[in-house]
Amino acid sequence: MTQISIVNTVEWEEADWLRLDCLGEVSYNPGYPAGEEDLVVRIGKAEIAIGADVRFSAEVIRHSLNLAMISLWSTGHDTVDLEAARRQRVVVSYVPAYSSYSVAEHTWAMVLHLAKKLAEADAHVRAKRFDWSAIQGMELHDMTVGILGAGAIGMHSAAIANGFGCRVLACTRHPDPVRAQKLRLTFVPFLELLARSDILLVHVPLTAETRDMVDTHAFQRMERKPILVNTARGEIIEPKALARAVDEGQIRGLGLDVLWQEPPDWDDPIVQKLLASKNVLLSPHCASHTREAFRKLTSICIDNVEAFLRGAPANVLT
């Protein structure tokens, strides 16, 4: 019988466990591995490993002698050494676009919170004050929204922006004129996106090309001092440049669902600066965490295992 190891905590319902039990002998390892050696132990003799937010490095893959498949319980796959997986003939499958609605909605919840100064308004009333003139928000209608990344999440964000009556710009390596017409957006180069945006949304995946993409030079090009929201990956924004931008008022508001280190080092001066800043809104990488999204995530993750066992792997990265 095929051995399947779930290498970290998952949030599954009983029907999911029953479905996986029909596919093989399942071992569950809750929590997260302490390092590479622990992850190898958790994989053990399994042919299939299921996991998310754990690093399947070249060493882990090399020492997992029976491993034939990694079924990621996630869309993000920057934690897997794909080249090492190819060398070892390990199939890696992922779950595309399961949380695109949830993440786009979370992104815009952050935008609204910052634009309407809801934290300040709530604190004002809780202090038993009721002076409307003390709180001045920002009207979104007719603002220019810049979207970095034109995948499923970026396009849902564009649709929401259209609903607010915003002008929408997007930057991607593969502009699609049909998509542009459908969503009433204009594809522009990166530097133009930075210069023209009142609201800037980061929706690109983390790659070697996008790592530290929003750096000091990028912040200097943000002529309109935008609200900046990142619900993609923390490493896309260079931390020291971000701290300077907050200090120097290069952005009028900042929403982060992701950080460059997760969980963060709470003693990091940059983290402390963000925690102390009034115009910064933080959440713990939870944008995708809705019941609806997680039902889809788990279903497709198990679909991928079934497809592999049938000899027709789906959603394959290697």
Residues acting as catalytic residues: 233, 262, 285
Q: Is the CB of residue 53 less than 8 Å from the CB of residue 288?
A: no
CA distances from 146 to 58, 188, 195, 231, 287 (A): 37, 9, 9, 14, 19
Which amino acid type is present at position 156? H
Phi-psi region of 120 (alpha: psi -120 to 50; beta: other; left: phi over 0): alpha
Tokens representing residue 297 in the block: 């995530």
CA distances from 47 to 6, 42, 53 (A): 11, 12, 19
**Of 121, 133, 115, which Cα lies nearest the Cα of 225?**
115
3-state secondary structure string across 70-81: EEECCCCCCCEC
Give the three-state DSSP class for 103. helix
Sign of the Cα torsion 32, 288, 272, 221 reads: positive
Residues 184, 217, 212, CA angle at the centre, nearest 5°? 80
Alpha carbon distance 100, 279 (integer Å): 26
The per-residue DSSP string of 221-288 comes to T-TT--EEEE-S-GGGB-HHHHHHHHHHTSSSEEEES--SSSS--TT-HHHHHHHH-TTEEE--S-TT
Alpha carbon distance 247, 104 (integer Å): 27
Alpha carbon distance 46, 93 (integer Å): 16
